[in-house]
């Protein structure tokens, strides 16, 4: 009876596990094999083992480290900005959402638009002849910077990403803030806490786990950014805006350097696995 | 006083985060001549000519094909993810299956940059002839959707009283029968939410569309970028703007209709992740 039941549970989960093994497990193996192989589009099906040459090539490639550095800075900066702005909006605007929720829908709207399309929209917004931003800057200040030129591209991309995803952080904080029971706030007031003390001593500490989660999610999304950066600058601006995702994509599709692209994928996989494993361990220890 | 200040801050924030959409919407109603003479935020002579131009099918640009591709791939991507995640979620909640490894493993997939798998998937698809097909793109989008669908469904099933299962068991129902006749109907709202969330995510995906399709199965996110390089004499901004609005509309409408459910599932996904 027990064994039969066990089998039935396993059967129910089998399709998903099989699907993931086929679509992710197999590719992971292909990655590993190809990363230590001599491979080109001509020899795609018959890789010959060649040791760690691909890894050496990636690790000695200046563009790989520049891409890492871009992704790291981009992820950290956008996560910090999005969470700071989102936290401010969630707390300062909280009374507005008490009786009505349509303002929430307006702030959430950017989350529904494809990041690739948002990137394309900014091509229009920032265009020197057709875009309103340069138009008004010329009109008001008689000058407008080259937003996507080598000097400003990084900061333009930071603003683009931050404006689209601040609503995500805002939303998480909004829900965490409203999940704090009213009794807790009342108790703090009765104890003589003023609004600021209540915010810093009671509300923010209660929201801390959500803040940590939001920072993490936004950092990961910023680190692996592809869509909006790709359509706005490509690796453009002298390669200064190539994220790690763009580096891998271009190594494969533009240069045909399969070995290098695959080796970089494996390195990225190991790094994300190590970070996620560490975080899970940390979370588990906290629960105990 | 403070309330007015709050509304002002809200208005600024709403304007700033929606700025690209507003500009694109405004531009899509300007004639080609007006775009070059008046790039500002106000329209002098609104026109629908850009939308008329978008709907005109040409050899190189076919918005109906892109929309149909996105619709098919997103529907497949959302449907398969839920179809696979529902029985697994049931086995996890009631059978205690994979709580220690499988669930965290799948949930953490959301945090792995999927570009890692892009190259082998490209090769696999080449071998089995799935490159540039709607089904191929849909399958990959299902991978993207599985983690969140699983989290939403696990949460939903955990809230269904066990008594319902046990009553059905006593009546001689099998686990599969219970899943289909008891659990699935009770969890209909969660299933709908994960379908819609998956559909929006899949519709908005870009990287795999760019890599795995070239012509027949191009989704609208990739196809839209072609309108930027289409004409010889520079970009037709009005037409490009209209394309972007059309391409962005389906997920935005779904999102606005369902924003309460979507914000809740975002929270669920974040807390579990």
* pLDDT of res. A117: 96
Residue A227's pLDDT band, with cuts at 50, 70 and 90, is: very high
Place of tokens 């064994």: A3
Residue at B112 is within a domain = yes
* B170 in A contact zone (CB under 8 Å): no
How do beta strands A48-49 and A37-38 pair? antiparallel
pLDDT value of position A236: 62
- 3 state SS of A37: strand
B204 reaches A (C-beta below 8 A): yes
Q: Quick one: pLDDT at residue B164?
A: 85
Q: Does residue B81 belong to any structural domain of this protein? A: yes
B135 close contact with A: CB closer than 8 A: no
Q: Are the Cβ atoms of A116 and B175 closer than 8 angstroms?
A: no
Q: Which two tokens stand for residue B140?
A: 């990959």
In a domain, B18, yes or no: no
What pLDDT sits at residue B233? 57
Of residues B84 and A33, more confidently modeled: B84
Please tell me which residue of chain A has the smallest CA distance to B8. A93
Q: Is the ipTM of this complex over 0.90?
A: yes
Mean pLDDT for the stretch of residues A134-144 = 88
- Look at residue A57 in the predicted model and tell me its pLDDT: 86
pLDDT at res. B273 = 46
pLDDT of res. A214? 92
- The answer to whether residue A35 sits within a structural domain is no
Range in A3-7, A77-81, A206-210, A267-271 the model is least confident about: A3-7
pLDDT of residue A43: 66
Q: What angle do CA A31, A73, A56 make, to 5 degrees?
A: 35
| Residue B32, in any domain of the structure | no
SS3 assignment, position B38: coil
Q: What is the pLDDT of residue B250?
A: 95
The angle subtended at Cα A230 by Cα A224 and Cα A232, nearest 5°, is 125
Q: At B232, list the tokens.
A: 């010889």
Q: Please indicate whether, in this complex, the C-beta atoms of A262 and B263 are within 8 angstroms of each other.
A: no
Using CB atoms, pick whichever of A107, A113, A172 lies closest to residue B252: A113
B59 to chain A, closest Cα gap in Å: 22
Residue A13 lies inside a defined structural domain of this protein? no
Alpha carbons B269 and B263: distance in angstroms, whole number: 10
Distance from CA of A243 to the nearest CA of B (A): 11
What is the spatial distance between Cα B186 and Cα B224, in angstroms, rounded to a whole number? 40
| A49: closest CA of chain B, how far (Å) | 17
Euclidean distance between CA atoms B241 and B31, whole angstroms: 11
pTM of structure: 0.91
Q: Which residues of chain B have pLDDT under 50?
A: 231, 273
If DSSP states are collapsed to H, E and C, what string results for B46-86? CCCHHHHHHHCCCCCCCHHHHHHHHHHHHHHHHHHHHHHHH
Q: What is the CATH number of the domain that holds A109?
A: 1.10.3720.10
Q: Could you say which DSSP state residue A39 is in? A: -
Note which residues in 133-192 of chain A have CB less than 8 A from chain B: 134-136, 163-164, 166-168, 171-172, 175
Using a 10 angstrom Cβ sphere, with 0-12 exposed, 13-18 middle and 19 or more buried, the burial of residue A85 is buried
In the stretch 37-66 of chain A, residues with CB closer than 8 A to chain B read: 44-45
User: Which domain does B98 fall in, by range?
Assistant: 71-214+265-272
Taking 60 as the threshold, does the pLDDT of residue A243 lie above it? Answer: yes
Is A186 inside a domain boundary?
yes
- Rounded average pLDDT over A228-238: 77
Task: Say if residues B73 and B138 touch (Cβ distance below 8 Å).
Answer: yes
The number of distinct structural domains making up chain A is: 1
Q: Is B260 domain-assigned?
A: no
Query: CA angle at residue A155 from A152 to A160, to 5 degrees?
Result: 120
**Domain around A70:** 52-287
Assign residue B120 the CATH number of its domain.
1.10.3720.10
Residue A211: what pLDDT? 94
CA angle A260, A264, A265 (to 5 degrees): 115
Number of compact structural domains in chain B: 1
Q: Across residues A119-129, what is the average pLDDT?
A: 90
Q: Distance between CA B243 and CA B220 in Å, rounded? A: 9
Given an 8 Å threshold on Cβ–Cβ distance, is A175 in contact with B263?
yes
Tokens standing for residue A136: 């008004």
Of A41 and A107, the one with more pLDDT: A107
């Amino acid at each position: 009876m027990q064994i039969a039941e066990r089998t039935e549970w396993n059967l129910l989960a089998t399709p998903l596990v099989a699907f993931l093994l086929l679509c992710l497990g197999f590719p992971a193996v292909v990655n590993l094999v190809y990363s230590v192989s001599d491979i080109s589009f001509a020899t795609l099906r018959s890789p010959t083992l060649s040791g760690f040459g691909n890894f050496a090539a990636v690790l000695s490639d200046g563009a790989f480290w520049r891409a890492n550095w871009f992704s790291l800075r981009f992820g950290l900066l956008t996560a910090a900005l999005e969470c700071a702005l989102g936290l401010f909006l969630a707390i300062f605007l909280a009374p507005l959402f008490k009786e009505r929720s349509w303002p929430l829908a307006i702030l959430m709207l950017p989350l529904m638009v494809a990041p690739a399309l948002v990137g394309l929209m900014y091509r229009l917004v920032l265009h020197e002849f057709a875009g309103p931003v340069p138009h008004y800057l010329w009109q008001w200040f008689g000058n407008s910077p080259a937003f996507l030129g080598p000097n400003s591209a990084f900061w333009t991309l930071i603003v683009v990403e931050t404006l689209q995803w601040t609503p995500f952080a805002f939303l998480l904080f909004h829900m965490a803030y409203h999940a704090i029971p009213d009794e807790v706030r009342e108790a703090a007031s009765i104890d003589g806490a003023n609004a600021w003390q209540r915010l810093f001593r009671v509300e923010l500490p209660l929201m801390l786990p959500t803040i940590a989660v939001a920072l993490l999610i936004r950092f990961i999304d910023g680190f692996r950014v592809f869509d909006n950066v790709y359509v706005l600058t490509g690796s453009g601006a002298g390669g200064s805006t190539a994220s790690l995702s763009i580096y891998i994509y271009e190594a494969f599709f533009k240069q045909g350097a399969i070995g290098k692209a695959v080796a970089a994928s494996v390195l990225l996989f190991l790094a994300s696995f190590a970070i996620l494993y560490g975080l899970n361990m940390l979370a588990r220890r906290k629960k105990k | 006083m403070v309330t007015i200040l709050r509304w002002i801050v809200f208005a600024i924030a709403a304007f700033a985060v929606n700025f690209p959409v507003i500009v694109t919407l405004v531009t899509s109603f300007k004639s080609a001549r007006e775009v070059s003479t008046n790039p500002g935020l106000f329209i002098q002579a609104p026109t629908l000519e850009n939308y008329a131009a978008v709907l005109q099918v040409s050899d190189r640009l076919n918005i109906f094909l892109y929309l149909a591709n996105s619709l098919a791939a997103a529907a497949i991507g959302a449907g398969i993810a839920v179809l696979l995640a529902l029985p697994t979620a049931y086995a996890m909640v009631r059978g205690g299956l994979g709580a220690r490894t499988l669930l965290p493993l799948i949930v953490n997939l959301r945090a792995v940059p999927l570009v890692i798998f892009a190259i082998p998937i490209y090769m696999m698809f080449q071998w089995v002839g799935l490159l540039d097909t709607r089904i191929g793109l849909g399958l990959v989008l299902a991978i993207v959707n599985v983690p969140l669908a699983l989290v939403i469904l696990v949460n939903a099933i955990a809230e269904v009283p066990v008594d319902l299962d046990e009553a059905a068991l006593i009546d001689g129902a099998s686990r599969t029968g219970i899943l289909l006749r008891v659990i699935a109907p009770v969890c209909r709202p969660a299933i709908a939410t994960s379908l819609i969330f998956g559909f929006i995510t899949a519709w908005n995906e870009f990287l795999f569309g760019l890599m795995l399709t070239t012509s027949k199965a191009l989704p609208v996110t990739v196809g839209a970028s072609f309108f930027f390089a289409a004409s010889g004499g520079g970009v037709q901004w009005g037409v490009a703007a209209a394309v972007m609005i059309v391409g962005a509309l389906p997920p935005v409408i779904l999102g606005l209709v369902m924003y309460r459910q979507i914000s809740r599932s975002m929270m669920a996904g974040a807390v579990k992740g």
